[in-house]
Amino acid sequence: MASTFRIGGDLDVRRLGFGAMHLPTGPGPGRENALAVARRAVELGVTLIDTAHLYGGGANEELLAEALHPYPEGLLITTKVGVARTGPGGEWKLDGRPQILRDQVRQALRRLRTERIELLQLHRIDPDTPLADQLGTLRELQTEGLVGRIGLSEVTVEELERARELVDVVSVQNRYNLLDREHEAVLDACAAAGIAFLPWRTVAWGDTGSEAGIAAVAAELGATPTQVALAWLLDRAPVVLPIPGTARIEHLEENLAAADLKLTPAQRARLDGAAEGVRAGSG
């Protein structure tokens, strides 16, 4: 099982990354701890960190820059645009209008203290704006040198196919984990095309029977159920780049240790069976 993946064919990252969404951005001890978590992630070899404009209206981006700038060579911080406080009462809503996307990219460049976002992802497809306008804007920003590569988030197979007719899509970020495999077909499409698949909500519990099966495998390996769930993701396909998030250093260290966990074929089959049981029960 390869420990690295080349996004877009030329951007090498370690496959087990870090999602920064849960890091507190307000003043005080929580922020100091968040800075320490981000720095510890890089110390432990993380080279892929995920953030978004939505996370605090850019505050999460600012936090990462405070923690990590000047960035070490090889570190990829990917951010997402396309959700804005443009609802009737100033609430968050999907907004993929060209002017909004351009403004959020400009803000991200300033907050992240960089001249180029190497991987920019469209947080959601805005149904009220033509897809060609949304992706065309990102393509223009790419041509201008402000964006290196383009990715998508929470898309169907059909939406991915439509998007690939307009731009070179190098990544997809969808909800996916051992017990929630709604987007299995999207992952399969990414694997077939060599597109990086960044699952979010990488660990989710709730089915007692399946949790018992996962815990049994964890006991055999001397690991935690969370580590087993992450190891299963890494074993699922070479294009899978999990981005588990946490605001605690001990959880971060636990998560990243999953990269060294090796599942036997029999254990993998049992875990697959646990997931099938959940799907059968919800069908």
CATH number of the domain at 176, please: 3.20.20.100
Residues 10-59 have pLDDT tens digits of: 999 999 999 999 999 999 999 999 999 999 999 999 999 999 999 999 99
pLDDT at 277: 57
**Region 197-215: what's the mean pLDDT?**
86
Q: Return the structure tokens found at 16.
A: 């087990």
If pLDDT is split at 50, 70 and 90, which confidence band does 98 have? very high
Domain annotation covers residue 282:
no
Domain annotation covers residue 257:
no
Distance CA 259, CA 95 (A): 36
Domain annotation covers residue 55:
yes
- Quick one: what percent of the chain has pLDDT higher than 70? 97
Q: Which helix (H) or strand (E) holds 13?
A: strand 11-14
Domain annotation covers residue 162:
yes
Residue 237 CB contacts under 8 Å (≥ 6 apart), including other chains = 187, 190, 191, 197
Residue 125 belongs to domain spanning? 4-203+239-246
Domain annotation covers residue 71:
yes
With a cut of 70, say whether residue 186 has pLDDT above it: yes
The residue type of 283 is G
pTM for the whole structure: 0.95
71 is catalytic: no
Domain annotation covers residue 230:
no
Domain annotation covers residue 263:
no
If pLDDT is split at 50, 70 and 90, which confidence band does 283 have? very low
If pLDDT is split at 50, 70 and 90, which confidence band does 282 have? very low
Q: Return the structure tokens found at 25.
A: 């951005």
Domain annotation covers residue 40:
yes
Q: Which of 5, 55, 176, 200 is catalytic?
A: 55
Residues 100-152 have pLDDT tens digits of: 999 999 999 999 999 999 999 999 999 999 999 999 999 999 999 999 999 99
- Shortest CA distance to 80 belongs to which of 103, 56, 50, 48? 50
Beta bridge partners, 152, equal: 122, 172
Distance CA 16, CA 231 (A): 10
- Shortest CA distance to 147 belongs to which of 162, 166, 128, 169? 169
- Shortest CA distance to 141 belongs to which of 98, 111, 112, 173? 98
* Residue whose tokens read 């999907």: 94
Name the domain count of the chain. 1
Residues constituting the chain:
283
Contacts 24+ apart (CB under 8 A), 203-212: 203/177, 203/178, 203/229, 203/230, 203/244, 204/177, 204/179, 204/180, 205/179, 206/179, 207/179, 207/277, 207/278, 207/281, 209/274, 209/277, 210/179, 210/274, 210/275, 210/277, 210/278
